[in-house]
Chain A
Amino acid sequence: MSIHELMFYLFSGMILLFSVLTVTSRRILRAATYLLFVLISTAGIYFMLNYQFLAAVQLTLYAGGIVVLIIFSILLTSHITHKFEPIGIKKMVFTIVAVAAGAILTITTVLNYGFNTVVASSQNPDMQLIGGSLLGYGRDGYALPFEVISVLLLAAIFGSIVIAKKEKSK
């Protein structure tokens, strides 16, 4: 087994373990922390695929930004210390049956699908390629979407201020 495979199994195992812990944790703040580990492990997978940009986005935005936001929004509520009751045996059995049915359906569908195995031309999506096509205005350029992103972010700023900022009553 090569180191590459080893790392893949390590990251996959971490993602699986912490995903299960996220949904089974009975304290909501701990669930958020487990989610952080899931996101970091996903960034590890991206690094393995040499998607440096995507991995950086994953680390800064998801592991850095979204998790902080989630933790803040949990800490804003008054039910921080609330601990969920352990679920009953009946609920657990039905959940396991439902999950197993879903998993079997998905796995059989994936296994029965005839994938066309063509070797993709391995182009390394490095920062220069991404930057070139993001700013390019020619045939493969995304200059206009790049500017539209700024308008989208502007709308996000407006939205977040309108939602989170309480207008003072005059």
Chain B
Amino acid sequence: MTSESLILFFIVGLVLVGGAILFSSYIAPTSTNLQKSEAYECGVPTKGITWLQFNVGYYLFALLFLVFEVETVFIFPWAVMMKSMGMVAFVEILIFFAVLGLGLLYAWKKHALIWE
């Protein structure tokens, strides 16, 4: 499948779903009141703003996540070529993992994986 047909598929999906929603919102009777526009998550009205200041812990996890995500990017082409290249590719990825395992070990040792 070429990318154009994929994109066309995407557009058709968007138009069909969007059209249905728009059409139903156009023909449906509307009734609005104050209660309807409230957030109903857990049934409790929210207090204050939702843009809260986060815990620093999230940032460390996001950084570590990003590093390992970069690692997965390099595993994609490896996984495609693994079968045809055989042992060589396997040894190469073992070295790759060993070096990055040291990083995970370091993170573990420094208690970076513990939520505080």
**Interface residues, chain A, CB within 8 Å of chain B?**
3-4, 7, 29, 44, 47-48, 50, 53, 56-57, 60-61, 64-66, 68-69, 72-73, 75-78, 80-81, 127-128, 130-132, 134-135, 137, 143, 146-147, 149-151, 153-154, 156-158, 160-161, 163-166
Residue of B nearest to A134 (CB): B77
Q: Which of A7, A164, A166 has the most CB of B within 10 A?
A: A164
Quote the shortest CB–CB distance from B100 to chain A (angstroms).
5
CB contact under 8 A between A147 and B77, given known A72-B58, A156-B67: no
Q: Which residues of B contact A69 (CB under 8 A)?
A: 59, 62-63, 66
CA separation between A57 and B78, bound complex, in Å?
14
Q: Which residues of A contact B42 (CB under 8 A)?
A: none
CA separation between A130 and B75, bound complex, in Å?
11
Task: Choose from A7, A76, A132, A135 the contact partner of B56 (Cβ within 8 Å).
Answer: A76
A-B contact pairs, 16 of them (CB 8 A): A47-B7, A68-B66, A75-B58, A80-B51, A80-B53, A134-B77, A135-B78, A147-B92, A149-B96, A150-B99, A151-B99, A153-B100, A157-B104, A158-B103, A164-B63, A164-B112
Q: Which residues of B contact A146 (CB under 8 A)?
A: 74, 92, 96
A149 near B92: Cβ-Cβ < 8 Å: no
B73 near A60: Cβ-Cβ < 8 Å: yes
A135 near B67: Cβ-Cβ < 8 Å: no
Quote the shortest CB–CB distance from B98 to chain A (angstroms).
8
CB contact under 8 A between A134 and B74, given known A48-B3, A157-B107, A161-B106: yes
> Is B89 in contact with chain A by the CB < 8 A criterion?
yes
CA separation between A53 and B103, bound complex, in Å?
26
Task: Choose from B8, B85, B103 the contact partner of A135 (Cβ within 8 Å).
Answer: B85
CA separation between A65 and B76, bound complex, in Å?
17
Residue of A nearest to B7 (CB): A7
Q: Which residues of B contact A61 (CB under 8 A)?
A: 66, 69-70, 73
Quote the shortest CB–CB distance from A31 to chain B (angstroms).
13
Quote the shortest CB–CB distance from B48 to chain A (angstroms).
10
